Homo-oligomer: A and B are copies of this chain.
Amino acid sequence: MSESEAVVLIGKKPVMNYVVACMTLFNAGAKQVIVKARGRAISRAVDTVELIRRAFIKDLVIKNISIGTQELTGQNGQKTNVSTMEIVLTRPK
C-alpha cells in the first residue's frame, strides 16, 4: 500500500471503528495516516486522534491540522457550505 492511500474518512460510526482503521493502517506499515472529516464528524475526528494518542501510540505525532470549506449541491440544486478538517498523523520510528 502506498503512503498516499492511507486515508481514514470519519463518518457516523463509533469512534473506536476509526481508531481501529488507523491502527490497522499503521500496523500495515503506513508511515503517515490522514484522518479526514466534514461537518458534525469533525469532533469525532479529533476524538479518534486523541484516543489513538492516549491509548495506543503515546508518541504519535500530529504533523498537521488543516481546515477548509467544501461546497455541496443538494438534491434541489441548492448550494450549502460544509466545513472540512484534515489531520495528518505520523508515527516516529
Within 8 Å CB of A87, what residues of B? 67
Interface string of A13-36 (1 = CB under 8 A from B): 000000000000000000000000
Interface size on A, residues (CB 8 A): 21
CA distance A46 to B44 in the complex (A): 13
Copies in the complex: 2
Interface string of A41-62 (1 = CB under 8 A from B): 1110011011001100000001
A67 in contact with B65 given A42-B46, A47-B83 (CB within 8 Å): yes
Query: Is the CB–CB distance between A67 and B43 below 8 Å?
Result: no
Shortest CB-to-CB span from A46 to chain B, Å, is 4
CA distance A31 to B41 in the complex (A): 30
